[in-house]
């Protein structure tokens, strides 16, 4: 069986390797070079323990999350599957693994709408792993199924003194919007490097001046004089598409809108969906993919949605209560997830 994978991010690379390992003939098409133009804070939170530690690119195991709501909470994350990674190195490793398994990777090969239609004719199956701007959805004139509810983000990578964040990540919730800003260090030293970004999860896009918000955050954190190495950002889809299967195409990762609706992390779901889509094809049961996926992650999705809705209704004080008194809701939720 011949499978085309569109997109060489975590979802596409995982799908491609899994499919090849299970006897399928796989060609992967990537717009740029593998590991280029990545939009990500690079915190890998495998909350369900379904992915395991990334095989390469791990910068450190996160020991503590500094979460500021009104007060600052120091959350011990030693028992959580949470790593800070360098995504470019991880993705290049995944690509090497996929090649070793027999995947043919074509870099700098963007698939346009008309190409997508040809792939759907020429290959038995297509896996659409093209991210938030899913090319297979665009090909059917669908301009926003996985984008109509999306977090808006902007991020920069900058040099500075991040020694106080050794083995830690920092996230700050603010009262004037639903979302948060983050400082995720890639090098937590005096002459360090960090990804600093802000995400708006529920806000009319016309009203946000993203750059101004980012500079406000930099000032608030006393980072305004740090050299900025690059700007990134974009949308994180928070709306799941349904069905995942469209003709002979399966949607995975951000193309299927699978990032966390609560905090926008999507690396774990990209890996899980890529793997399950490929396995269901190899087993001759593509229809089973969507059900299989939700069976694994339903509880996580329900809990995240519930917290998000309460945050929306009750504002930041609900989040404060959640972290001030985690025994009531947060800890039981985490335990129920970890025992999935």
Ligand X SMILES: Cc1cc2nc3c(=O)[nH]c(=O)nc-3n(C[C@H](O)[C@H](O)[C@H](O)COP(=O)(O)OP(=O)(O)OC[C@H]3O[C@@H](n4cnc5c(N)ncnc54)[C@H](O)[C@@H]3O)c2cc1C
What residues line the site for ligand X (CB under 6 A)?
6-12, 29-32, 39-44, 110-111, 129-131, 135, 153, 155, 197, 232-234, 236, 253-255, 259, 264-267, 270
Burial of 93 (0-12, 13-18, 19+ CB in 10 A): middle
> How far from 99 is each of 12, 131, 268, 288, CA to CA, in Å?
13, 21, 22, 27
Shortest CA distance to 221 belongs to which of 167, 171, 175?
171
41 vs 160, beta carbon nearer ligand X = 41
Place of tokens 């569109």: 6
Provide, rounded to whole angstroms, the least separation between the CB of residue 9 and ligand X: 2
Residue nearest to ligand X (CB): 266
DSSP structure class, residue 211: H
Cβ distance to ligand X smaller for residue 38 or 318: 38
Length of the chain: 340
E strand intervals along 63-216: 64-68, 72-76, 82-85, 104-106, 125-128, 150-160, 168-172, 179-187, 192-200
140/318 with CB nearer ligand X: 140
Instruction: Tell me whether residue 24 or residue 194 sits nearer to ligand X (CB atom).
Output: 194
- Cβ 233 to ligand X shortest distance, Å: 5
Shorter beta-carbon distance to ligand X: residue 44 or 177? 44
The neighbour count for residue 245, using CB atoms within 10 Å, is: 17
Q: How far is the CB of 25 from ligand X (least distance, A)?
A: 19
Q: Which is nearer to ligand X, 27 or 280 (CB)?
A: 27
Residue 252 C-beta: closest distance to ligand X, Å: 6
Instruction: Report the chain's C-alpha Rg in angstroms.
Output: 20
Residues ≥6 apart with Cβ < 8 Å to 336: 299, 303
CB of 320 to ligand X, least distance (A): 23
Task: Tell me the C-alpha distance between 126 and 136, whole Å.
Answer: 9
Quote the CA–CA distance of 164 and 299 in Å, as a whole number: 35
Q: Closest CB to ligand X among 49 and 315?
A: 49
Provide, rounded to whole angstroms, the least separation between the CB of residue 264 and ligand X. 6
Structure-token pair, residue 92: 């290049």
Least gap, CB of 282 to ligand X (angstroms): 19
């Amino acid at each position: 069986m011949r499978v085309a994978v569109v997109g060489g991010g975590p979802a596409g690379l995982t799908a491609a390797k899994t499919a090849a390992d299970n006897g399928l003939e796989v060609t992967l098409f990537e717009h740029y070079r593998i590991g280029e133009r990545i939009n990500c804070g690079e915190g890998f939170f495998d909350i369900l323990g379904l992915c395991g530690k990334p095989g390469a690119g791990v910068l450190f195991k996160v020991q503590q999350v500094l979460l500021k709501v009104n007060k600052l909470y120091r959350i011990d994350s030693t028992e959580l599957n949470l790593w800070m990674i360098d995504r470019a190195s991880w993705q290049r490793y995944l690509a090497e693994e996929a090649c070793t398994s027999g995947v043919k990777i074509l870099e700098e090969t963007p698939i346009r709408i008309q190409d997508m239609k040809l792939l759907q004719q020429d290959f038995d199956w297509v896996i659409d792993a093209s991210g938030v701007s899913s090319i297979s959805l665009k090909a059917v004139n669908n301009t926003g199924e996985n984008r109509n509810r999306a977090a808006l983000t902007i991020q920069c990578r900058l040099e500075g003194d991040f020694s106080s964040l050794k083995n830690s990540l920092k996230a700050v919730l603010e009262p004037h919007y639903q979302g948060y800003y983050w400082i995720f260090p890639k090098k937590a030293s005096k002459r360090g490097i960090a990804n600093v970004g802000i995400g708006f999860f529920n806000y009319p896009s016309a009203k946000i001046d993203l750059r101004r918000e980012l500079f406000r955050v930099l000032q608030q954190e006393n980072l305004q004089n740090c050299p900025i190495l690059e700007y990134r950002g974009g949308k994180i889809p928070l709306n799941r598409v349904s069905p995942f299967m469209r003709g002979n195409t399966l949607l995975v990762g951000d193309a299927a809108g699978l990032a966390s609706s609560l905090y926008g992390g999507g690396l774990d779901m990209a890996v899980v969906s890529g793997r399950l889509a490929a396995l269901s094809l190899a087993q001759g049961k593509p229809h089973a993919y969507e059900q299989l996926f939700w069976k694994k992650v339903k509880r996580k999705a329900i809990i995240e949605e519930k917290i998000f809705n309460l945050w929306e209704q009750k504002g930041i004080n609900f989040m404060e209560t959640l972290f001030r008194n985690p025994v009531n809701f947060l800890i039981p939720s985490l335990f129920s997830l970890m025992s999935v």
